[in-house]
Amino acid sequence: MITFFFWVFAILAVGAAILAVTRRRVLACALNLVVAFVGLSGLYFQLGAAFPAVLQIMLYAGAIMILVVFVIMFLNLPEEEIKRKAAEPRERLWPMFLVLPLGAVLVGLVNRVDLPPTRPLPADFGSVGSVGRQLFESYVYPFELISILLLVAIVGAVMIAKKRLT
């Protein structure tokens, strides 16, 4: 049963990610990305990491995607410009013909690898306290850099939209 749900979540995540890359409409891409995030969250739950799974849904599928959809709606590109900038279907599909055989080879290689036995995890693995200690002790600078990067992206989107309004 666990293998069945693994494949369901994996196909959901990969399929939605492919749809997010190949769709022409920006809003459809964003919504497919939300579905991919939910699939990844299901995989996290199967790994026994409930805290990252809930964060995946709350932060990425919730807050970040709402921000992305807000910016898409805020920019409000005209339909003619979207059609003009969209690539032809042939131009968008040729990378898949390169990636699909590579993916099949990688899946075949992964299935042949004998993994070493797993070591037992600490009792507080994946808990809020454990993740918080790692985040704010070991990874405080990358965490702050990401928050600055998101702030710069929001300010940039507002500046682009402001130039269009004037």
Out of 13-17, 102-106, 129-133, pick the least confident: 102-106
In a domain, 108, yes or no: no
Q: Which domain holds residue 33?
A: 2-87+122-165
Q: State which amino acid sits at residue 5.
A: F
In a domain, 7, yes or no: yes
**DSSP states of 94-138:** HHHHHHHHHHHHHHHHHHH--PPPPPPPPTTTT-HHHHHHIIIII
Q: How confident is the model at residue 83 (pLDDT cuts 50, 70, 90)?
A: low
For residues 45 and 13, the answer to whether their CB atoms sit within 8 Å is: no
- Predicted confidence at residue 8, as pLDDT, reads 92
Q: Is the pLDDT of residue 130 over 60?
A: yes
In a domain, 101, yes or no: no
Query: Which helix (H) or strand (E) element contains residue 11?
Result: helix 2-22
How far is residue 32's CA from residue 27's CA, in Å, rounded to a whole number?
A: 9
CATH code at position 143: 1.20.120.1200
- Predicted confidence at residue 124, as pLDDT, reads 81
- Predicted confidence at residue 51, as pLDDT, reads 82
In a domain, 52, yes or no: yes
How far is residue 21's CA from residue 156's CA, in Å, rounded to a whole number?
A: 23
In a domain, 104, yes or no: no
In a domain, 65, yes or no: yes
How far is residue 40's CA from residue 10's CA, in Å, rounded to a whole number?
A: 7
**Stronger pLDDT, 78 or 117, i.e. the higher one:** 117
**Stronger pLDDT, 78 or 10, i.e. the higher one:** 10
How far is residue 51's CA from residue 44's CA, in Å, rounded to a whole number?
A: 9
Nearest CA among 69, 64, 79 for reference residue 28: 69
How far is residue 66's CA from residue 49's CA, in Å, rounded to a whole number?
A: 24
Average per-residue pLDDT in the chain?
80
In a domain, 35, yes or no: yes
Across the range 86-90, mean pLDDT stands at 54
Measured CA to CA in angstroms, residue 59 lies from 36, 49, 52, 121, 157 at distances of: 13, 16, 10, 25, 20
In a domain, 54, yes or no: yes
Q: Is the pLDDT of residue 90 over 70?
A: no
Number of domains in the chain: 1
Out of 17-21, 23-27, 76-80, pick the least confident: 76-80
Question: pLDDT tens-digit profile of 51-72?
Answer: 888 888 888 877 777 777 777 7
